[in-house]
C-alpha cells in the first residue's frame, strides 16, 4: 500500500452529531508532485469542533465541504518526495492535509515544523493552533490580569486545558467546567486548576458557578455556548469579559439555545467578544515561543487523546461532541 | 398650594407595562431646609426606561424602589429657599428630585445648571445624561470611525436620536430603527439619518437591516434588546461592535427573549459591550462641551416630547414602553 492514498470523503450531511455514517472511504493511487508540490505521508490528524461546522449546510464564514469532497483536516505529515524549495524528504510539516493517508499538496500551504520548539505531539496541540488559540484568546481577547477569576468551559478539552494553565501562570484563580468526575479530578490534580465543576452532576449550573466564583467571574473563556454561556453571564463580575472561542454544545443543533440574560451586560459593564486565531498570524512566533518556553520549563502540559487509524477519524468527530475525549483529540495514522 | 408638596409613591409592582394604577398621589406640606439643604420647585421631570427597572422585583445593579416610596426620577428644579453654600433662590439645578412638586433635598446631590452651555430644555436631554449616554456610548464603547455603518435601535427615542446625529457628525452611514412611518420620516428628513426602518411594518427585520446595510453593520447601538438585538447581530460586519445601552422591549417581560445567534460573534470577530454612563462621570465636562458646541452650531438637535402635570408622569412611563413618544419624554411640572 506504499503507493496508495486512502481518503475519506463526505457522503451525507449530518443533522445532529457527525459519525462514520456520514463519510465514505476510498483508495486512490498516490500522485507524483508537480513543481512546487510535495508528496506526504500523514502521521497525525487533528479532530476539531470546527469540522462539524464545515460539513453543515450553512457554515457561515468558512467555505463548506461539499458532498464527495475529501474531508478537510489539519495534521502533521512527513515529506516523502519533494519538488519544492525548502522541503526535503524526511521533513515534518503541519498543514491542511485532509482525511487522507498520502496526499500530494502545494508546499506553499505547509509549515515546516521546528522540532527545536517542541515534539510533533506538541505541534499538534500545545504549540500548534490549539495552544495559539488559548494564548491569544485568554490574553489578548480576554485581557486576564493577575488576581482575577478565570472560568473556562470545555476545560478538559484541547483549548480549555491550556487556557486554564495559562490562567494559573498569570496568577489567576482558575475554575474549569467539564463533564464527569474523572475530567474534573484531572483538572485540579494534574493541571493545577483551583476548582472544577462537573456540569453533568450539577442540577443548577449557575448556582455551582456562583459558589466556585464568590467574587464573580472576571473572564469566561467559552468553548461550549448555549446554557453554559447563559449561566456564566449570570456570574460575571463588574467589568467581566466573555471570550467566545467555540460553541460545541450548539454546533449540532438545528435551533441553537437562546441566551436570555444579555441585559445583565449593562449593569455589569461586561463584554462578549468572538475571535478567530488566524487574525493573530503575524504574532504566531511570539505565541509559540512563549508556549514552548513554558512547556520546556514544565509549567505547561497537554493531554493528547490519541485514536488509531485514518478510518477512526469519523468516529473521533462524534466522540468530540459526545464529550468522550479528555484533552486534544488526534488520529494517529502512521509512525 | 405654594406650601404643598405633591408626591407620587409606588403603590404596586407592575408585572407588565407600568401605568397610573401602580402609583398613588398625596399632598404633604413642604419642609423647610436644614443646613446643607435646599427647598425646590420642580420644573421638569425626566421619564426614562430605567425607571421601569427600578420598580421591578429584582432590578439588578440598582437599588429597587419599595412600595410606599416616592418614585425616583431625575429632573430640573428652581431653588426656592437655600441653606447651602453655592445655591441661591432662583438658581436652576439638576438632580434626583423624585416624583414630587416641591422637594427639600441635600444640595450635595444637585448640579447647578450652567445656562451658558444650554437652556434648561437642553439640560434635560442634549447636554444632560441623555446626551452624555449617546456621546460616550457610541464613541468610547462603540468606537465609531468615519465611513462605518451605524445602526441605532430606538432611534426616535431620547438617546437614539442623538446617537444617530453623532454618527452623521462622525461621517458614518446611519440607519435608524423606529416604530411607525412618522418617526422614520422624521429621522431622515429632520435629523439627517441616511435611512430608517419601520420595524412595525417589516415582516422580516433581519432582511430589512441587510438591505439597508449592504456592507454590514459596523456598530449597532441598541436601546431595545430581544429580537431586535438578534436581527442586528445577524447583520454585523467583520469586527462589528454592539453597544448595549438599553433593552426597552425586554424590561417589562417576565421571561426575556433568548438570543440564538451569539455563535456568529466568532466568525465576525464581533463584540457586545454593556455600559453605564456614570462610569464616565470624570469626563462629563468634555462630553457636555462637545455636545453644547455642536448644538450651538446647529449641527445637533433634540426633540422633546413634553407632557403636562406631575400626575401625568405614570401615564408617561407607560407611553415610553408602548413607543408613543418621539424624542426625549419629559413631564412639565411648573414654569
Give me the residue spans of the domains in chain B: 4-125+302-332, 134-278
Q: Can you tell me the distance from the alpha carbon of A42 to that of A78, in angstroms, rounded to the nearest whole number?
A: 6
Decide if B273 and A270 are in contact by the 8 Å CB cutoff.
yes
Question: In the CATH scheme, what is the code of domain B134-278?
Answer: 3.40.50.720
Q: Can you tell me the distance from the alpha carbon of A307 to that of B292, in angstroms, rounded to the nearest whole number?
A: 67
Decide if A271 and B270 are in contact by the 8 Å CB cutoff.
no
Residue B213 DSSP SS3: coil
A interface test, pick of B263, B268, B269, B280 with most A CB neighbours within 10 Å:
B263
Q: Can you tell me the distance from the alpha carbon of B5 to that of B26, in angstroms, rounded to the nearest whole number?
A: 8
Which residue in chain A is spatially nearest to B255 when comparing CA positions?
A: A260
Nearest one of A254, A256, A205 to A234, comparing CA atoms? A205
Residue B211 pLDDT: 97
pLDDT tens digits, one per residue of A125-157? 999 999 999 999 999 999 999 999 999 999 999
**B326: pLDDT confidence band, cut at 50, 70 and 90?**
confident
The contact set of A with B (CB < 8 A) is 60-62, 225, 229, 244-247, 250-251, 255-276, 279
Class of A133-278 in CATH: alpha beta
**A13: pLDDT confidence band, cut at 50, 70 and 90?**
very high
Q: What is the ipTM of this complex?
A: 0.92
Nearest one of A217, B270, A238 to A228, comparing CA atoms? A217
- The grid coordinates listed for A61 are 464564514
**Looking at the partner chain, which of B62, B225, B270 has a beta carbon nearest the beta carbon of A263?**
B225
Q: Which residue has the cell 468615519?
A: B146
- The grid coordinates listed for A119 are 515534539
**A223: pLDDT confidence band, cut at 50, 70 and 90?**
very high
Distance from CA of A212 to the nearest CA of B (A): 21
Of all residues in chain A, what percent carry a pLDDT higher than 90? 90
Residue B86 pLDDT: 94
Q: Can you tell me the distance from the alpha carbon of B302 to that of B165, in angstroms, rounded to the nearest whole number?
A: 10
Distance from CA of B60 to the nearest CA of A (A): 7
- Tell me the CA end-to-end span of chain B in Å, nearest whole number: 15
Q: Can you tell me the distance from the alpha carbon of A5 to that of A40, in angstroms, rounded to the nearest whole number?
A: 10
Distance from CA of A265 to the nearest CA of B (A): 5
Residue B232 pLDDT: 98
CA A266 remoteness from chain centre: 31
What length does chain B have?
Answer: 335
Homologous superfamily of domain range B4-125+302-332: Medium-chain alcohol dehydrogenases, catalytic domain (3.90.180.10)
Average pLDDT over residues A227-252: 94
The contact set of B with A (CB < 8 A) is 60-62, 225, 229, 244-247, 250-251, 255-276, 279
Residue A6: CB atoms within 10 A of its CB come to 18
Run of H or E including B73? none
Q: Can you tell me the distance from the alpha carbon of B270 to that of B262, in angstroms, rounded to the nearest whole number?
A: 10
Which residue in chain A is spatially nearest to B63 when comparing CA positions?
A: A267
For all residues of chain A together, what is the average pLDDT?
95
How many helices (H) and strands (E) chain A has is answered by: 10, 15
**Looking at the partner chain, which of A246, A269, A273 has a beta carbon nearest the beta carbon of B279?**
A269
Distance from CA of B212 to the nearest CA of A (A): 21
Which sign does the torsion angle of CA B83, B84, B89, B94 carry?
Answer: negative
CB A252 within 8 A of CB A273: no
Answer yes or no: is pLDDT of B253 > 90. no
For residues B229-264, one letter each, b for 16 or more C-beta atoms within 10 angstroms of the residue's C-beta and e for the rest, the string is: bbbbbbbbbeebbbbbbbbbbbbbeeebbbbbbbbb
Q: Give the DSSP letter of residue A219.
A: E
Pairing mode of beta strands A111-112, A74-82: unpaired
Chain B CB contacts of A271 below 8 Å: 271-274
Phi first, then psi, for residue A14 (nearest 5°) are: -70, 150
Q: Which residue has the cell 438578534?
A: B230
Chain B CB contacts of A258 below 8 Å: 257-260
Please give the interface size between A and B, counted as residue pairs whose CB atoms are below 8 Å apart.
104
Answer yes or no: is pLDDT of A2 > 70. no
CA dist B185 → A252, B191, B210 (Å) = 43, 9, 20
**Looking at the partner chain, which of B251, B256, B276 has a beta carbon nearest the beta carbon of A260?**
B256
pLDDT tens digits, one per residue of A250-295? 888 888 999 999 999 999 999 999 999 999 999 999 999 999 999 9
Decide if A266 and B247 are in contact by the 8 Å CB cutoff.
yes
Answer yes or no: is pLDDT of B173 > 60. yes
Amino acid at each position: 500500500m506504499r503507493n496508495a492514498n486512502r481518503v475519506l470523503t463526505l457522503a451525507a450531511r449530518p443533522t445532529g452529531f457527525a459519525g462514520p455514517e456520514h463519510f465514505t472511504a476510498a483508495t486512490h493511487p498516490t500522485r507524483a508532485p508537480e513543481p512546487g508540490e510535495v508528496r506526504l505521508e500523514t502521521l497525525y490528524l487533528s479532530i476539531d469542533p470546527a469540522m462539524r461546522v464545515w460539513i453543515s449546510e450553512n457554515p457561515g464564514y468558512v467555505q463548506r465541504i461539499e458532498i464527495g469532497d475529501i474531508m478537510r483536516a489539519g495534521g502533521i505529515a512527513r515529506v516523502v518526495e519533494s519538488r519544492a524549495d525548502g522541503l526535503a524528504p524526511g521533513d515534518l510539516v503541519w498543514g491542511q492535509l485532509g482525511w487522507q493517508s498520502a496526499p500530494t499538496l502545494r508546499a506553499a500551504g505547509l509549515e515546516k515544523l521546528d522540532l527545536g520548539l517542541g515534539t510533533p505531539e506538541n505541534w499538534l496541540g500545545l504549540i500548534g493552533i490549539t495552544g495559539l488559540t488559548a494564548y491569544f484568546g485568554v490574553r489578548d481577547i480576554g485581557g486576564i490580569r493577575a488576581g482575577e477569576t478565570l472560568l473556562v468551559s470545555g476545560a478538559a478539552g484541547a483549548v480549555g486545558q491550556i487556557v486554564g494553565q495559562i490562567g494559573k501562570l498569570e496568577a489567576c484563580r482558575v475554575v474549569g467546567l467539564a463533564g464527569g468526575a474523572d475530567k474534573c479530578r484531572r483538572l485540579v490534580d494534574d493541571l493545577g486548576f483551583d476548582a472544577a465543576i462537573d456540569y453533568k452532576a450539577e442540577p443548577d449550573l449557575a448556582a455551582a458557578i456562583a459558589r466556585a466564583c464568590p467574587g464573580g467571574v472576571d473572564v469566561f473563556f467559552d468553548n461550549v455556548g448555549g446554557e453554559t454561556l447563559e449561566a456564566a453571564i449570570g456570574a460575571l463580575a463588574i467589568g467581566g469579559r466573555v471570550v467566545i472561542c467555540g460553541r460545541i454544545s450548539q454546533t449540532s443543533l438545528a435551533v441553537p439555545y437562546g441566551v436570555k440574560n444579555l441585559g445583565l451586560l449593562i449593569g455589569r459593564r461586561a463584554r462578549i467578544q468572538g475571535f478567530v486565531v488566524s487574525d493573530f498570524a503575524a504574532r504566531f512566533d511570539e505565541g509559540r515561543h512563549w508556549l514552548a518556553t513554558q512547556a520546556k520549563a514544565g509549567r505547561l502540559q497537554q493531554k493528547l487523546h490519541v485514536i488509531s487509524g485514518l478510518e477512526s477519524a469519523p468516529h473521533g468527530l462524534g466522540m468530540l461532541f459526545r464529550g468522550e475525549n479528555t484533552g486534544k483529540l488526534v488520529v494517529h495514522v502512521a509512525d
